[in-house]
Amino acid sequence: MKPGYHEIYSRYRDNIARGVLKPGDRVPAIRVLAAQLKVARKTVETAYAILVGEGYLVSAGARGTRVNPDLLLPAESGPEAQATGTLPESLITQRERAGFLRPGVPSLDAFPYKKWLLLAGQATRAMRHEEMLNPPVMGWYPLRQAIARYLNISRGLSCTAEQVLITSGYSGSLRLILDTLASRSDKVVFEDPGYFMGQQLLKRTVPRLHTVPVDRSGLDTDYLLRHHRDARFAIVTPSHQSPLAVTLSLPRKQQLLDWAGQNASWIIEDDYDGEFHYTRKVLPSLKSLDQHDRVIFMGTFSKTIMPSLRIGYVVMPASTVDAFTDCAEIVASGQPILTQKILTAFLNEGHFFRHLKKMRALYQTRRDWMIAALREVYGDRFFTEQNDGGMHIVAFLTRGSADREVARCWQQHQLQVNALSEWYRGSGRRYGLVMGYNNVRTYQEAVELLERPKQQTLEIMG
């Protein structure tokens, strides 16, 4: 029986993990391996695409494909591990922190690779000479149209293609917004706890950065009005707060919008995983409720398609389009046309909608597996709060505050969780582990992963 793409993927992943293939080793070309295995080239292409997406392989164009040279295989990945055929407990560490349970990574095993590769081939063959010049800094117009249609239908926005600006993702979007509209004297407020990488970026770029606490109803707008009514910008994740995954309540949404309208302030809505709502229909965005045109909406395809795509977007308020255009002409360089063309076809042909629908059901199942596995392996040592959606859970510690030590322990077992306390800047810290579940393929796999650091975890927690 000819191997499928998943079997090819598994063979390479296990051989890399066991040290049979070492960092920097070259792997066969797609056509060569396809001929050896007597399978279609698309089968090998799909397996390689998954391995590249997960960080096991890197493609160097004409120089071929190699095992990622950044992978560091520990000493225990030697002959003994190869003989048993099992993965060592401390498997692989990498600069990009490859591993299991990493928050924010979409399901890679369930992505429609064959369809994506087909669209990629079509887009490549259809490239024109003029598309080989510098890409438009505002983005390829057909993609802007496709995103506007998608947002108007799925997120309740009322925007035109002219209001959509294509960026390189979260950091590119946030930098461009602040470069366009903010001055160094402006006060900016951010959620506490808040997205860790966003905090690091803002700490480097915003002199007057302040935080507002988050509770079970989302951003504490009363606190905002008491202490930071004069803020110029509020950066929020209202659909599923990052990292607590709570939803901003409707009264607080209205209060936040009223504050922005009355003070001529801006709300930056980061809709990083708003598509994934499980117990009811997808929530309308905060932008869809905005009567004053003070909400700047930003999203990315890193959470819905793949992190390596590096395409995000900003929906600009109508009054700011000229300012964004002028700024983008100076500080932006535009995204590759070929990638934008592939994504446009993926959206226009309905593949994106079908993929999201499938992922909502899959992620709900995998979240339930992870929560149940936590109870089976650790009993009452952790607890989770039931939320309506998102792409990760927070496993709160029921005793002690050593979440950083626990997180380091889990990371040594290639479980790339985050310590919740590291996402806080102010007081009122809570302690737990932020963990993804989207790539856990079975309940038994969830149990086996959580068993890896169990003994050390129990010793740390006492």
Q: Dump pLDDT digits (tens) for 129-177.
A: 888 888 999 999 999 999 999 999 888 899 999 999 999 999 999 999 9
**Is 21 in the same domain as 139?**
no
Question: Does residue 197 lie within any of the structural domains?
Answer: yes
Q: Does the pLDDT value for residue 79 go beyond 90?
A: no
Cα-based torsion angle of the residue sequence 299, 202, 384, 382 in order, rounded to the nearest 10 degrees: 140
In the listed set 349, 375, 404, which residue is the last one of a domain according to the structure?
A: 349
Half-sphere exposure of residue 367: CA atoms within 13 angstroms, side-chain side: 26
Phi-psi region for residue 52, left (φ > 0), alpha (ψ -120 to 50) or beta?
Answer: alpha
- Please give the pLDDT value at position 161: 96
**Is 345 in the same domain as 374?**
no
Q: How far, in Å, CA of 360 to CA of 277, rounded?
A: 7
* Residue where the block lists tokens 């606190």: 223
**Is 137 in the same domain as 222?**
yes
Q: How far, in Å, CA of 384 to CA of 395, rounded?
A: 5
- Please give the pLDDT value at position 449: 94
**Is 134 in the same domain as 65?**
no
* Mean pLDDT lowest among 15-24, 105-114, 257-266: 15-24
- Please give the pLDDT value at position 171: 92
**Is 233 in the same domain as 294?**
yes
Question: What range defines the domain where residue 37 resides?
Answer: 5-78
Any idea what the CATH number is for the domain that residue 279 is in?
Answer: 3.40.640.10
Contacts of 34 (CB under 8 A, 6+ apart): 40, 41, 43, 44
Question: Does residue 238 lie within any of the structural domains?
Answer: yes
For 284-331, the pLDDT digits (tens) are 799 999 999 999 999 999 989 998 889 999 999 999 999 999 999 998
* Mean pLDDT lowest among 21-25, 42-46, 68-72: 68-72
Any idea what the CATH number is for the domain that residue 411 is in?
Answer: 3.90.1150.10
The model's pTM: 0.78
**Is 397 in the same domain as 321?**
no
CB 101 within 8 A of CB 416: yes
For 5-15, the pLDDT digits (tens) are 878 888 888 88
Question: Percentage of the chain surpassing pLDDT 70?
Answer: 91
Q: Which of 272, 309, 296, 249 is nearest to 197 (CA)?
A: 272
**Is 137 in the same domain as 218?**
yes
- Please give the pLDDT value at position 72: 60
**Is 335 in the same domain as 369?**
no
In the listed set 349, 376, 411, which residue is the last one of a domain according to the structure?
A: 349
**Is 14 in the same domain as 67?**
yes
CA 398 vs. chain centroid, Å, equals 28
Question: Does residue 185 lie within any of the structural domains?
Answer: yes
- Please give the pLDDT value at position 281: 62
Q: Does the pLDDT value for residue 86 go beyond 50?
A: no
Neighbouring-strand partners of residue 187: 208
In the listed set 23, 56, 78, which residue is the last one of a domain according to the structure?
A: 78
* Average pLDDT taken over every residue of the chain: 88
**Is 393 in the same domain as 330?**
no
- Please give the pLDDT value at position 47: 86
Indicate the number of domains in the chain.
3
**How does strand 208-215 pair with strand 187-192?**
parallel
Q: Sign of dihedral through CA atoms 132, 137, 141, 142?
A: positive
**Is 187 in the same domain as 44?**
no
Any idea what the CATH number is for the domain that residue 13 is in?
Answer: 1.10.10.10
For 218-247, the pLDDT digits (tens) are 999 999 999 999 999 999 999 889 999 899
CB atoms within 10 A of CB 187: 18
Question: Does residue 94 lie within any of the structural domains?
Answer: no
Question: Does residue 86 lie within any of the structural domains?
Answer: no
Question: Does residue 164 lie within any of the structural domains?
Answer: yes
**Is 31 in the same domain as 178?**
no
Q: How far, in Å, CA of 265 to CA of 249, rounded?
A: 20
